[in-house]
Each structure stands twice: as structure tokens, then as C-alpha cells.
């Protein structure tokens, strides 16, 4: 039996997740099998679905979808969906896949912007507005908010600092 750490890595890796669904399939209840069937047949679509849409498409209750995700080791549907999305959308691959040796600076710039725009659209599709409201409420109720950043996320952290301090 794998340790909890090994099991956690396996469950939260894209390919490991799909393998785990297949290996646990015989032990799932019929409703969970319906979720598993939908995920395995529509892996590329799952990342765009809310938990309600996923439940409707699989023909089960929302609680079944959440329970299915938890049985795979995820905290819930969002974490499961993010794990699937990480392998299906590779921003670096999207940015570089259309850039060719003969492209000039202007063309490269357009392609990079297009790829980043696509990544933002994908992010918008998987965001759960209800979770955004909860996050805003949680941040709003804090006495202190700390911002941390590395590399290219630094401007976003600085924007957060300036806007939260009323400097913007």
C-alpha cells in the first residue's frame, strides 16, 4: 500500500488521476461510475464545467460529483478540475507552438499576446464566481493582508498592495 505522500502525488498528477479512476472503477457505486464514464470520455470538456453542469451531464447529483472527486484524493471538484486542466492547457506550449524561425518581432509579439489571451479565456471558463465572492469576502474581512510574488507575478502583487492601501 503506498504511503499517504506517494498516494497524494499519484492522485494529483493528471495521468495518475486518470489511471486511478480506471483502477477504482469496479469499486465505484453506479452513480460514481457515471461520473467516471463522463470524465474518461470527455476529459477535455470537464475543465470548462461547473459542478452543477458536470452533475447534469453525468446524470447524477452534485454531491455525487464531489464525493467522486474526494474518493480520488481531492478536496473537491475544483481541485480535481484544476489537475485535469494543468495537463490539457500548457501555456508555454501554446505560446511557442505558432512561433516560427522566420517571424519578425511584431509577429512574435502578436502570437504571444494571442496565446496569453487564450490562457486568460481558459482561466475565465474554469473560475467559479461563487468562490471568487467567498475569496473577496474573506480578504475584505481581514485586518492584514500579505502579498507574496515570484517573477512575473510581482506586478500583480504590487498592484494588490497599492490598491489595498488606497494608493491607486
Q: What is the average pLDDT across 49-72? A: 95
The widest CA-to-CA distance across the chain, in whole angstroms, is 58
* Confidence bin at 160 (pLDDT 50/70/90): confident
> What are the E-state strand segments in the chain?
none
8 A C-beta contact, residue 126 and residue 47? yes
Which is more confident, 45 or 165?
45
Q: From CA 12, how far away is CA 102, in angstroms rounded?
A: 39
Of the options 1.10.10.10, 3.20.20.140, 3.30.450.40, 3.90.1150.10, the CATH number for the domain spanning 4-88:
1.10.10.10
Instruction: Provide the residue ranges of all domains of the chain, joining segments of one domain with +.
Output: 4-88, 90-127, 140-168
Q: What is the average pLDDT across 90-110? A: 70
* Confidence bin at 14 (pLDDT 50/70/90): low
Amino acid at each position: 500500500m503506498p504511503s499517504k505522500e506517494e498516494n497524494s502525488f499519484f492522485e494529483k498528477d493528471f495521468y495518475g488521476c486518470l489511471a486511478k479512476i480506471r483502477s477504482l472503477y469496479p469499486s465505484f457505486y453506479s452513480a460514481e461510475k457515471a461520473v467516471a464514464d463522463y470524465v474518461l470520455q470527455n476529459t477535455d470538456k470537464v475543465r470548462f464545467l461547473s459542478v452543477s453542469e458536470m452533475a447534469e451531464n453525468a446524470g447524477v447529483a452534485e454531491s455525487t460529483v464531489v464525493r467522486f472527486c474526494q474518493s480520488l484524493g481531492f478536496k473537491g471538484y475544483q481541485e480535481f478540475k484544476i489537475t485535469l486542466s494543468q495537463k490539457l492547457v500548457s501555456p508555454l506550449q501554446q505560446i511557442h507552438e505558432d512561433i516560427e524561425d522566420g517571424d519578425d518581432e511584431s509577429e512574435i509579439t502578436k502570437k504571444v499576446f494571442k496565446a496569453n489571451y487564450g490562457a486568460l479565456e481558459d482561466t475565465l471558463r474554469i473560475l467559479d464566481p461563487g468562490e471568487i465572492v467567498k475569496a473577496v469576502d474573506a480578504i475584505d474581512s481581514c485586518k492584514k493582508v500579505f502579498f507574496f510574488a515570484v517573477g512575473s507575478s510581482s506586478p500583480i502583487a504590487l498592484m494588490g498592495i497599492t490598491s489595498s492601501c488606497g494608493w491607486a
